[in-house]
Amino acid sequence: MKTATIPPVRVSAEFRAELDASLEAGETLAALVEKAVSNEMVRRKSEAEFVRRGLAAIARTRRDGSGIPADAVIAKLEARIAAARKTLARKKTTATAKRG
C-alpha cells in the first residue's frame, strides 16, 4: 500500500520547542504526530459508536414505550434530595444536642 502525507501545520516557535522537548528518546516529531492523529481517530470512532448506540437505545425506548417520563424521574430525584436534606438536618440537630 502506498503511503500518504499529512498536511504540514504551522505552529509558533515556542510550541515547536515544547514539542521537540517532549519527544521520547529516539522518537521523531513525525512519529509523534502520526501517533496523535491515530489516537484521535480511534477516540472519534469510539465516540461516534457511543452516540450511535445511544440514539438506537432512545429509538428502541420510544418504539417500545418503555421509557420513564422525565417529570417522573425529576420528581423521584427531588424526593431523594428532600429526604437526604431531612436526614442531614436531623444529624446536625443530634450533634448540636450532644455538644450542648
Query: What is the per-residue pLDDT across 16-75, written as a single tens digit (0 to 9) for each?
Result: 999 999 999 999 999 999 999 999 999 999 999 999 999 999 999 999 999 999 999 999
Q: Give the closest residue to 29 by CA, choosing from 47, 17, 46.
A: 17
Alpha carbons 83 and 77: distance in angstroms, whole number:
10
Cα distance between residue 12 and residue 73, in whole Å: 50
The model's pTM is: 0.64
d(CA 58, CA 10): 42
Calculate mean pLDDT across residues 71-88.
97
Long-range contacts of 37-44 (CB under 8 A, 24+ apart): 37/6
Phi, psi of 24 (to 5 degrees): -80, 165
**CB within 8 Å of 60: residues ≥ 6 apart:** 66
Non-local CB neighbours of 13 within 8 Å, separated by 6+ positions? none
